[in-house]
Amino acid sequence: MNWRIVAVGAVIIVPFVAVLASGFGKDPREVPSVLEGHPAPDFALETAEGGQVISLKDLRGHPVVLNFYASWCVPCAQEHPWLVKISKIYQPRGVTFLGVIYNDEVPKVKGFLRRYGQNYPTLQDPSSATAIDYGVAGVPETYIIDGQGQIVRKFVGPVSPEEFESTLEALL
């Protein structure tokens, strides 16, 4: 056995594999949102059912959860049932949940909601203006906004349940 080679190999392998492993569970696309800690861009959007317009300004005083999603997006379908469930717990405690359609058609979204559940309004964003204001890079993306209209937390991809709950608990 040539121990020099073993030693050199170990010096290379261990840190290298450790560094690669450190990347798991993090999203390389997730650059800290410049919006965190800043006022949430206002919007006034019509609900998917039509007729009603919801504006962020009117929701002052209560935390808001804003979830951008689409029916064609697989991770959205995966997280949606959980969001519906958790909204049943937090809505009575004063949190407003809102979905925002991202690049999708209303009939398809309605089918999506029939399939994966519905407990809060979904808003239409036909020209993606709101998505652009929030800097949405892909769906799902979820924003938690506090009662003063500040963005407290942004989730890229499906939300992590523990962080989501702890952020909301801190606001209530």
Partner 1 sequence: MISILGRTAILVALAACMVGAVAGLYGGARRSADAARWARAMAWTFFGATLVGVGLMEFALLTHDFSVHYVAEVGSRSSPTWITVVSLWSSLSGSILFWAFILGAYAAAQAWYTRKRYPEHSSYAMGMTLVVGVFFSFLVAGDANPFTPVSPVPLDGPGPNPLLQNHMLMVVHPPMLYLGYVGMTVPFAMGAAALLAGRITPAWSRALRNAMLVPWGFLTLGIILGGWWSYDVLGWGGYWAWDPVENASFLPWLTSTAFLHSAMLMERKDQLKGWTLTLLMGSFLLTILGTFMTRSGVFNSVHSFTQSPIGPIFLTFLALVLTFSVLLLAARIDKLSPPRDGLNGPASRDTAIMAQNLLFAAFTFTVLLGTTWPLINEAISGEKISVGGPYFNKWGVPLSFMLVFLMGVGPALPWGRASLDAVVKRFLVPLGIAVLVVAGCAAMGWTKPWPLAVFGVSAFAAVITLQEMAAPGLARWRKKGGNLATALVQASLRTRRRQAGYVVHLGVVLVAIGVAGSSGWRNVEQLTLRPGETGKAGRYSLTYVEHRTDKDSHRSSELARIHVATDDADLGFLEPRMNTYPRMGSPLPAPAVRSVPGEDLYLSIVKIDTKTGLLSFQAVIQPLVWWIWFGGLVMALGAALAAWPSRRRSTARLAHAKPDTAGVAASVKAST
What character string, x for contact with partner 1 (CB under 8 A) and - otherwise, covers 71-100? -x-xx-------------------------
Q: How far apart are CA 88 and CA 17, in angstroms?
A: 43
Stretch in the footprint of partner 1 (CB under 8 A) among 1-9, 37-45, 50-58, 164-172: 1-9
Q: Does 32 bind partner 1 (CB under 8 A)?
A: yes
Q: How far apart are CA 94 and CA 100, in angstroms?
A: 19
Q: How far apart are CA 157 and CA 69, in angstroms?
A: 10
User: Which residue, chain included where needed, has tokens 């504006």?
Assistant: 55
Provide the phi-psi class of 51: left if phi over 0, else alpha when psi is between -120 and 50, else beta. Answer: left
Q: Which one, 104 or 146, has the nearer CB to partner 1?
A: 104
Stretch in the footprint of partner 1 (CB under 8 A) among 20-28, 37-45, 77-85, 90-98: 20-28
Angle formed by the axes of helices 74-90 and 161-171, to 10°?
30
Shortest separation between residue 51's beta carbon and partner 1, angstroms: 25
Q: Does 5 bind partner 1 (CB under 8 A)?
A: yes
**Total interface residues for partner 1 by CB under 8 A:** 32
What character string, x for contact with partner 1 (CB under 8 A) and - otherwise, covers 101-140? -xx------------------------x------------
Q: Does 44 bind partner 1 (CB under 8 A)?
A: no
Residues forming a β-bridge with 122: 99
- The residue type at 84: V
Q: How far apart are CA 106 and CA 126, in angstroms?
A: 10
- Residue 152 near residue 36, CB atoms below 8 Å: yes
Q: Which one, 27 or 58, has the nearer CB to partner 1?
A: 27
Q: What are the residues binding partner 1 (CB under 8 A)?
A: 1-6, 9-10, 13, 16-24, 26-29, 31-32, 70, 72, 74-75, 102-103, 128, 157
